[in-house]
Amino acid sequence: SINDNNPVKNWDEKRQQWLKSHPNLGGASDSKRPRILLVTGSQSSACANPVGDHLLLRLFKNKVDYCRLHGIEIFYNNVLLHPKMFGFWAKYPVVKAAMLAHPEVEWIWWVDSDAVFTDMEFKLPLERYDKHNLVVHGWSHAIYEEKSWTGLNAGVLLIRNCQWSMDLIDEWARMGPQSPDYEKWGRTQKLVFKDKLYPESDDQSGLIYLLLKDKKKWGDKIYLEGDYNLEGYWLGMVGGLDNITKGYEEIERRVAVLRRRHAEKVSEFYGEKREEYLKDVIRRPFVIHFTGCEPCTGDHNPVYTWEACWNGMQRALNFADNQVLRGFGFAHPDLLDSSRVSPLPFDFPRIG
Ligand code: UDP
Ligand code: MN
């Protein structure tokens, strides 16, 4: 596993003790909402793709914007905490270390560098996950019946800061490249998951394997979120963003009409109305994940072009940025034009 010589033990008790001795930092004591630390990262060296570092900066800016708007702390890691756990395996030692470094947070939220927040308003429905320790975007029929390696996505995970999570990560990481059984696990995964693309053991197949093998031990505490896009595959999503923008603009027009008619009413009224109007439009996806685009290396999946990835990322990033910029009074009129903005005249605080 990641650190066989020094596994974390009794973390729940140790964390409770720490919380008691630091009452001002305690998760539940000073706020009703459990604390979250968003963790993301990238490789330590410059990207091989000439625009890779530029994209990583924009992808990071997007996460910082979301976190600022929601009072979430963020940690960016760009070193391999285990020298052999590269690529998507790199996140496990980081997530584990983040739990130790931040006993005050209840949840660690790993978000891949290539995932974009495309709804700056949406909040995680944490109450829903009270009885669970890990939340991933997934579909139980695709896991248990189809046995597909894409039955869930491991690029965005919400994982509780507890001993169960430490144990899960240790068991999960046994399938990683630092393990003497790495090649064996690759063969096993390829046999179990007929649609798996490559022979090397990967973390996503690894988690599904654990679910299939020991549903009681792991599955009961893993929430497969399918109600909203905890992450969503970019290819089918980026084309719809212009339409979604139109829907939301229509709502803003309707709210503005109300504002003129009822100038004396308090702003919550508009918030309520806006929520009501939103039922009529296609909602923004929460997170769009550019799986397979590999913005940093440029080694994208050959079934689509780099141009498709690039344009998709521009659209998603500018779509998200528009939600941030409008509060400042500006917007990108063209989602494909990242440098141009137009002013939006207004003199009242924006709702949503
Ligand atoms: N990553 C990292 N350090 C590395 C390489 C990758 O932290 O040295 C992270 C990065 O956030 C990246 C994630 O691991 O987004 C998973 O890789 P990727 O997104 O390329 O996989 P995909 O989603 O395309 O399967
Ligand atoms: Mn990814």
pLDDT digits over 145-188, tens only? Answer: 999 999 999 999 999 999 999 999 999 999 999 999 999 999 99
Interval 300-307 mean pLDDT: 97
Residue with tokens 């990033």: 317
**Is the confidence at residue 23, as pLDDT, over 90?**
no
91 C-beta closer than 6 A to ligand 1:
yes
Mean pLDDT of the chain: 94
pTM assigned to the model: 0.96
SS3 at position 37 = strand
**Is the confidence at residue 105, as pLDDT, over 90?**
yes
Distance of CA 105 to the CA centre of its chain: 17
Q: What is the CA(123)–ligand 2 centre distance, in A?
A: 21
292 C-beta closer than 6 A to ligand 1:
yes
**Per-residue confidence (pLDDT) for residue 124, from 0 to 100:** 98
Ligand of minimum distance to the alpha carbon of 287: 2
**Is the confidence at residue 30, as pLDDT, over 60?**
no
Long-range contacts, 71-74 (Cβ 8 Å, 24+): 72/36, 72/37, 72/38, 72/109, 73/35, 73/36, 73/37, 73/38, 73/102, 73/105, 74/37, 74/38, 74/39, 74/40
> Who surrounds ion ligand 2 at CB < 5 A?
112, 114, 155, 291
233 C-beta closer than 6 A to ligand 1:
no
What would the two tokens of residue 127 be?
């109450």
First to last CA, the chain: 45
Interval 16-27 mean pLDDT: 84
Percentage of the residues of the chain whose pLDDT score is greater than 70: 95
329 C-beta closer than 6 A to ligand 1:
no
Residue with tokens 């093998």: 213
User: CB–CB of 245/322 below 8 Å?
Assistant: yes
**Per-residue confidence (pLDDT) for residue 29, from 0 to 100:** 42
Q: Among 23-27, 47-51, 62-66, 281-285, whose mean pLDDT is lowest?
A: 23-27
The residues, ordered by sequence, that sit 6+ positions from 151 with a Cβ below 8 Å of its Cβ are: 138, 139, 140, 142, 143, 144, 208
Residue nearest to atom 2 of ligand 1 (CA): 42
The residues, ordered by sequence, that sit 6+ positions from 247 with a Cβ below 8 Å of its Cβ are: 280, 281, 282
- At position 283, the amino acid (one-letter code) is R
Write out pLDDT tens, residues 212-229.
999 999 999 999 999 999
Percentage of the residues of the chain whose pLDDT score is greater than 90: 86
Pocket test for ligand 1, best of 42, 291, 303 (most atoms within 8 A of CB): 42
Q: What is the CA(86)–ligand 1 centre distance, in A?
A: 9
Q: What is the CA(150)–ligand 2 centre distance, in A?
A: 13
150 C-beta closer than 6 A to ligand 1:
no
Q: What is the CA(16)–ligand 2 centre distance, in A?
A: 33
**Per-residue confidence (pLDDT) for residue 106, from 0 to 100:** 97
**Is the confidence at residue 331, as pLDDT, over 70?**
yes
